[in-house]
Amino acid sequence: MSPSGRDADFLSLSALQHFAYCPRQFALIHIEQQWAENRFTAEGQVLHERVNDGEPEHRGDLHIARSLRLICHSLQVTGVADVVEFHPVDDDTG
């Protein structure tokens, strides 16, 4: 799902990840719009099938969300987290 409306100009989390990994990769993908599927990206898609199905999971008090849409208006970033774990809050921690 891509951002719409005023969120459309937000920076994508994947762009930040690409820049952190390799600024050249970031430029090729996000500035020059150069992207080519290859063996490694195809393997990554296969490995991400469980994440991409978006099905949540519960293990006791632990809730596991997949493909969770994230947005931060103050930082103007948006994206989708592969997996997020929600642990119960310990009431004694204040």
Q: What pLDDT does 63 receive? A: 94
| pLDDT tens sequence across 73-91 | 999 999 999 899 999 987 7
What's the pTM? 0.68
Residue spans of the domains in the chain: they are: 9-93
Q: What is the pLDDT of residues 20-63, one digit of tens each?
A: 999 998 999 889 988 888 898 888 888 888 777 778 889 999 99
**Cβ–Cβ < 8 Å for 50, 66:** yes
Quote the CA–CA distance of 35 and 25 in Å, as a whole number: 9
Whole-number Å distance between alpha carbons of 41 and 29: 13
Non-local (6+) Cβ contacts of 64 within 8 A are 56, 57, 58, 83, 84, 85, 86
